[in-house]
Structures are given as structure tokens and as C-alpha cells.
Amino acid sequence: MSDLHLVGLSIRNGSKIYPGTQALKNVDFDLRMGAVNVLVGENGAGKSTLMKVISGVEQLNGGTIELDGKVVAFADRTEAARHGVGIVFQELNLFPNLTVTENIFVGHEKTFGGIHIDSVAQTATARALMKRLEQDIDPDMPLGNLRIGQQQIVEIAKALAENARILILDEPTSALSATEVDVLFRVIGDLKRQGVGIVYISHRLEELIRIGDYITVLRDGVITGSRSMEGVDIPWIVANMIGTASKEFPKTVEHTLGDEVFRVENVCLPRPAGGYSVDHMSLSVRAGEIVGLYGLMGAGRSELLECIMAQHPNSSGKLFIGGAPVREKSVSGRIKRGLALIPEDRKRDGLVQIMTIRENLTLSSLKDFTRIFHLSLKEEAGKAAEFVKRLAIKIASLEHPVSSLSGGNQQKVVIGKALMTQPRILLMDEPSRGIDIGAKAEIFRTMRRLAGDGLGILFVTSDLDEVLALSDRILVMANGRLTGSFPAGANAADVVSAATPNLNRVDTL
């Protein structure tokens, strides 16, 4: 296979040093054209750093980059783009108040004679890109109105609009549904046939095996394996990633559940255009219970969690904690009552990028440290350090900005931050998004332990294996409504069919 695919870009003996961390250590990497080169490794292994070097966002401290056999040095993103390198970043880099079209063309507008923006041509191209990605998205719509998965698709469209010869996709599917992943894979297949060299980063190992032609494994900044994908299986990947055999999901253990700790009655969120995104939802969670909320993207699951956290002033319905009605109308009031949400979009809702890791961890529980428990700064740092250890967050120092962490480690900070408020009910939206296999098992174990301590957990996931393995009870939503309720050990096919009610039954329950 390797004879079929020419090396378009390569890194020789590449090193990258950040303050406190050597992110890349003498790395040799070949990027093959007309093929999908997958890159895998634990959170903080150096994957994004390697791609930032190739796309001109960061520069090597040692070693060289060769493009078509010639040594190059990209001073910045623009210079790399001029050489045909495009990148979809791990974290969304879009402007919520600009339209979809404007976001796609920001920085490389189509113009008449280099002066006036040709908005007709831009809209037409944006429309064509949405069609190519099989999306029913209006290009004139403000981006902020789209769900995070759709925003991720716009991010991909933006890279496609540049017609790059080398296209880097850093965890492009973390917020996509299975159907959307299929669409993206078809587009990748077309690009491959056109000779584009693709780099694909993901923590979903099945996905890598399905789409990859070549695989490179990174661990602590070192390449531990690099080969053609032929014959590669999950145990091989995991062994190179973490040096041990595959880590399993912790199994649901028999445990007694407590009384009802949380109840939601008739929650509704009207859509501006009529109808409801959350349509008369009711559910309850018992102490010590993990309830998995499964559904397709757009089913209204995230919106339900947002209503519970008082993030939609126009929502209605009743909430009860331990049988007592929740009357607080503000987010902070609800946190005080024992509710905590770990949001899906950590960059927007979860973290303050310019603040330190310690400050982010203690942000929501700050009052506890100053008033309730009379804890000092030193104790705050001690508590932060304890959570860093408990969640195995990989950091050089608590005092570094949270923006210096890898994507997965930022996600763990968001989880730690929510746990610090000592909630009675924990709401988690896609808790394993962007998290490596080892850390995922760690987070699932943490969820189990927390439930064992009597916390009620309601978590949203689009991952079928995850909902089946982790939940004491599975609820399914479609079109804003509850369409199914299953005990632990439910049949996968039943859960999926409840999530796609247009294909079968309607309005049950």
C-alpha cells in the first residue's frame, strides 16, 4: 500500500517545547497523499501540537518540515494555508453572531476585483457546501442559532471551502451523530480520490480503523507506532497508546437505589417558529441512580438540561429536589439547591480560557471557599490539587492558564469544577466527548463512585454502547418528547428504534 501513496509532507526529528512541557520529542512523521493518515493517543499526547506545527499555528523548536521534498518553515497559519494546508481545529473557532456563510468565508472572502465582497457567490458556495454535507442549514442563519454538532459541520465546510491539498481534521466528529459521521466519511472518500492528503484525529478507535489507511500512535510526545492500517486492531492501538491491554467500561454493579432525589414535570421549551424543542418532558432520578438520556442530535436532550439549569427564561414546567419544589429562577440559585451541569460545549460554557486551572476549578464553588467553609487560598489550591489527582488531569502546574491544556484535559477540568460544588444531582451532557479511552474509563468509574455515594446522575449521550453500559435506567428522547424508558440491560435495537420514532411508533408514553 505504501507504494501507492506518495509522502506529501514530512517532519524530521521534530521537537516542540511549551513552558513546563515538551509536547513533541524527536518526532518523525510522514503524511501520505490521497490517503487518510490517522493520529491517535491519550489526552495530552501531543496530537494537536503536531498538527498545529504542520498548519503554521505553532513552530518547531528543533527539526524540519518538508513539503514535496523541500524544507519549509511556516511562520503562521496564513503561510501554511498558501501552501495548501487546511485545518479543522479541535475546538470550534467560529463567530456566533455572524451567519453561516460569513463564518465559512471569514478571512478569505470572495471579492469582485479584490475589493467588494461577492456575497451572492459566497452564499451560493455556502449553500453548495451544506448540500455536499447533506445538511438542511440556511446559510443566512446566524451561527449561534445552530446546535453544536451543526456548528462543527460549518467548521468542516469552512475548511472545504479553502480547497486544501492537505486537510487536517482534529476530532471533527466529537459532536456529530452517527448519520453525520457517515456523511463526513463519504466526503473524505471523495477528497482522497482527488489526491488530498488527510490527517484524522479521533478518540473513537472503531472510527479510526474504519477510515484510516495509515496510523500513527503518539504517547507523551513520542511516536510509539506507525504503520499501514492493514491488520491493525483495537488491542494494537491501545497497547501502543497506554502500554497495557484494552480498558473495559466499568460494568453496572448491583447496588440499592435511594429515594427519588429529583423530579421534572412537564418541562416545555417553545421554538420561536412554533412547536416545542422540549415538549412536555417529565422524568425522575433516584439517589444513587445513573439515568442515561439517549437520542439523536436535535432530539432536545441538551435543551432539557439547559431548562433544568434555568438557562432558558421562556421555558416552563416544575422541578423538585428531594420532594421540595425548586422556585429559584437563576443558574446560581439552582446550583445552590444542588444542581450542577457539565455542558457539552466546554469552550463556550465550561471554562474561562484566560484564567488558571485552579481558578477554573474553583469558579462555581468560590462562595464555599470564602463564606461557608471559611477556606483559605491555600485550601482552595489543596482542593483543586485533590481533584486534579482524582480525575487524573495531566498538568504541569495549577497556576498555568487552562488554555494550555489539551482538549481532553480541559474537559476533565469542567467535570472537576462541577463536582466541587458538591451537587445532589449531576447533569452531564456528553461527558466522554473528546476523552481518550483510559480517561473515559476513569470518568465512568468516577460517575459510578459518585452514584455509589448517593448522587443522582442524569447524563446525555449519543453513544449507544455508553448508554447501555453505564445506565441504571435508559430514557430516550425524540422530537422533544420522551419516547422510551428501559431498565439496565435493555436491548440495543429497542433503544435505537425508540430514538427514531418517525420510522415506527409515535406518541407512546
Interaction of residue 405 with ligand ATP, rule CB under 6 A: yes
Distance CA(46)–CA(168), nearest Å, equals 15
Interaction of residue 407 with Mg ion, rule CB under 5 A: yes
Interaction of residue 45 with ligand ATP, rule CB under 6 A: yes
The neighbour count for residue 369, using CB atoms within 10 Å, is 17
- Residue 109, helix vs strand vs coil: coil
Distance CA(433)–CA(407), nearest Å, equals 10
Distance CA(274)–CA(282), nearest Å, equals 21
Interaction of residue 21 with ligand ATP, rule CB under 6 A: yes
- Which window, 46-54, 79-87, 278-286, 359-367, contacts ligand ATP (CB under 6 A)? 46-54
Interaction of residue 152 with ligand ATP, rule CB under 6 A: no
Q: How many residues touch Mg ion (CB under 5 A)?
A: 4
For 8, half-sphere exposure in the C-beta direction (CA atoms, 13 angstrom radius) is 22
Nearest approach, Cβ of residue 47 and Mg ion (Å): 5
Are the beta carbons of 253 and 27 closer than 8 angstroms? no
**Residue with smaller CB distance to ligand ATP, 46 or 480:** 46
Distance CA(442)–CA(444), nearest Å, equals 5
CA dihedral 149, 219, 391, 367 (to 10 degrees): -70
**Residue with smaller CB distance to ligand ATP, 394 or 440:** 394
Are the beta carbons of 41 and 241 closer than 8 angstroms? yes
Tell me which residue has cell 439552582: 334
Take residue 396 and report the three cell numbers written for it: 504541569
Take residue 352 and report the three cell numbers written for it: 474561562
Interaction of residue 48 with Mg ion, rule CB under 5 A: yes
**Residue with smaller CB distance to ligand ATP, 262 or 444:** 444
- Which window, 13-21, 191-199, 420-428, 454-462, contacts ligand ATP (CB under 6 A)? 13-21
Q: According to CB under 6 A, which one of 9, 11, 23, 100 is a site residue for ligand ATP?
A: 23
Interaction of residue 407 with ligand ATP, rule CB under 6 A: yes
Binding mask 380-399 for ligand ATP (x = CB under 6 A): --------------x-----
Interaction of residue 48 with ligand ATP, rule CB under 6 A: yes
- Which window, 138-146, 341-349, 404-412, 492-500, contacts ligand ATP (CB under 6 A)? 404-412
Interaction of residue 362 with ligand ATP, rule CB under 6 A: no
Interaction of residue 431 with Mg ion, rule CB under 5 A: no
Query: Burial level of 102, CB count in 10 A (0-12/13-18/19+)?
Result: buried
Window 85-124: residues binding Mg ion (CB under 5 A) = 90
Tell me which residue has cell 460545549: 345
23 binds, among ligand ATP, Mg ion, none (CB under 5 to 8 A by kind): ligand ATP
- Residue 509, helix vs strand vs coil: coil
Start-to-end Cα distance in the chain:
54
Residues that bind Mg ion (CB under 5 A): 48, 90, 406-407
Residues that bind ligand ATP (CB under 6 A): 18-19, 21, 23, 41, 43-49, 90, 394, 404-409, 436
